[in-house]
């Protein structure tokens, strides 16, 4: 079956100048930035367009910037009549996916993102932590090693042989050495502001629970593949639980991609800044012979800038 999934990026996909061309070319973009300023209380487009980078990379700006950029593109794709069967978002991107699915409206989701970024930054400031990327080991192998290292946990399962770990600084260093000894090809320290998707984010999760309790959901037009379970979700009670648990639990991105393929998806469209998720699809389903991707014959496409929209329509035969 030929089905499409729209996938939405998370933190680290930002760049100075993001969405500036969309703002120039599309009324929807200008309206989204105006609505965002009302919710956030500051001029987000100024930071997106002009930075500087040391400001844009701060969590309180990064998360709203990526969310708004993705939602602008989502609204343009919908206006062009493009359809999808599933949505998923990487960490922060799950909120963009929920807007795309119709489960949340833009303002409510952005307000939740505002609090999420604030609470996560506070948790980072209170509990210093870090992350590292483990190459050449699968999730189960990494978890076996981490069972013997207190204070470190798996954080993201992004693609085969690529797992991120998170936790206290000394624990991540100790875990990195243990993983290399256990057969990891490489362990690369990540330049991040904190130990995301670990127990050190528990203060943020507790505060976010209260925000999520008051979040008003509507009917899901398509299922959301949840980060925490890699399963399709179409009800608000389950989604609230997923959004809460997501803050301290691993992002099961590769299992989520596999689930969508099992459900008949053969076209993935990354909606938002950068090409990180397209790269993960390609690494998860590598080429075989002359096929663009593996035996599933998948396509990994994306839209970020204005020029990408026409290219996408051509790729889809629109």
Query: For 63-93, how does the pLDDT look when each residue is reduced to its tens digit (9 = 90+)?
Result: 999 999 999 999 999 999 999 999 999 999 9
Q: Which residues are paired to 244 by β-bridges? A: none
Parts of the chain with a pLDDT under 70: 1, 287-296, 318
Q: Would you call 197 a catalytic residue per the annotation?
A: yes
| Ranges for all domains in the chain classified under CATH 3.30.70.250 | 128-190
Residue spans of beta strands (DSSP E) within the chain = 3-8, 86-89, 129-135, 152-159, 162-168, 186-190, 224-225, 232-233, 265-271, 299-303
Q: Please identify which of the residues 159, 197, 244, 306 carries the catalytic annotation.
A: 197
The pLDDT assigned to 193 comes to: 84
Which positions ≥6 away from 135 have C-beta within 8 Å? 161, 162, 184, 185, 186, 187, 188
Q: Please identify which of the residues 13, 70, 75, 91 carries the catalytic annotation.
A: 91
Question: Is residue 128 within 8 Å of residue 169, measured between CB atoms?
Answer: yes
| Ranges for all domains in the chain classified under CATH 3.40.366.10 | 3-125+199-316
The pLDDT assigned to 192 comes to: 86
As a whole number of angstroms, the distance between CA 256 and CA 251 comes to: 9
Question: Is residue 255 within 8 Å of residue 234, measured between CB atoms?
Answer: no
Instruction: Identify the CA nearest to 298 among candidates 272, 253, 263, 251.
Output: 263
Distance from the Cα of residue 229 to its chain's centroid: 15
- Asked if omega into 196 is within 30° of 0 (cis), the reply is no
The pLDDT assigned to 317 comes to: 83
As a whole number of angstroms, the distance between CA 242 and CA 228 comes to: 6
Q: Sort strands 232-233 and 224-225 into parallel, antiparallel or unpaired.
A: antiparallel
Specify the DSSP element, H or E, that contains 66.
helix 59-79
As a whole number of angstroms, the distance between CA 69 and CA 281 comes to: 21
Its pTM stands at: 0.94
Q: Would you call 69 a catalytic residue per the annotation?
A: no
Question: Is residue 6 within 8 Å of residue 303, measured between CB atoms?
Answer: no
Q: Give 3-125+199-316's CATH code, choosing from 3.40.1190.20, 1.10.10.10, 3.40.366.10, 3.30.390.30.
A: 3.40.366.10
Question: Is residue 109 within 8 Å of residue 70, measured between CB atoms?
Answer: no
As a whole number of angstroms, the distance between CA 152 and CA 164 comes to: 11
Residue 251 is classified by DSSP as B
As a whole number of angstroms, the distance between CA 40 and CA 118 comes to: 11
The pLDDT assigned to 73 comes to: 98
Q: Give 128-190's CATH code, choosing from 3.40.120.10, 3.40.50.300, 3.30.70.250, 3.40.630.30.
A: 3.30.70.250
Distance from the Cα of residue 218 to its chain's centroid: 21
Residue 102 is classified by DSSP as T
Q: Which residues are paired to 251 by β-bridges? A: 156
């Amino acid at each position: 079956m030929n089905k499409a999934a729209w996938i939405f990026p998370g933190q680290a996909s930002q760049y100075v100048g993001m969405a500036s061309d969309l703002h120039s070319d599309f009324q929807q973009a200008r309206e989204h930035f105006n609505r965002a300023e009302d919710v956030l209380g500051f001029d987000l487009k100024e930071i997106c367009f002009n930075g500087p980078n040391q400001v844009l990379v701060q969590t309180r700006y990064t998360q709203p910037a990526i969310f708004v950029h993705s939602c602008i593109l989502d609204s343009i794709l919908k206006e062009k009549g493009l359809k999808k069967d599933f949505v998923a978002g990487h960490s922060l991107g799950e909120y963009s996916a929920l807007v795309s699915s119709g489960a949340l409206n833009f303002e409510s989701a952005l307000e939740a993102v505002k609090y999420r970024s604030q609470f996560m930054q506070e948790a980072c400031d209170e509990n210093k932590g870090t992350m590292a990327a483990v190459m050449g080991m699968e999730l189960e192998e990494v978890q076996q090693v981490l069972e013997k290292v207190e204070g470190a946990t798996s954080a993201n399962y992004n693609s085969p042989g690529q797992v991120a770990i998170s936790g206290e600084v000394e624990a991540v260093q100790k875990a990195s050495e243990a993983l290399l000894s256990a057969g990891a090809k490489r362990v690369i320290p990540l330049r991040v502001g904190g130990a995301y998707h670990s127990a050190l984010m528990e203060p943020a999760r507790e505060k976010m629970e209260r925000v999520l309790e008051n979040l008003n959901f509507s009917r899901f037009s398509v299922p959301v593949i949840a980060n925490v379970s890699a399963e399709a979700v179409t009800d608000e009670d389950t989604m609230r639980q997923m959004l809460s648990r997501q803050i301290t639990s691993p992002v099961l991105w590769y299992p989520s991609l596999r689930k969508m393929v099992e459900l008949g998806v053969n076209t993935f469209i990354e909606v938002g800044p950068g090409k990180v998720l397209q790269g993960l699809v390609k690494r998860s389903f590598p080429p075989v012979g002359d096929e663009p991707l593996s035996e599933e014959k998948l396509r990994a496409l994306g839209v970020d800038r204005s020029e990408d929209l026409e290219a996408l329509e051509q790729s889809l035969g629109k």
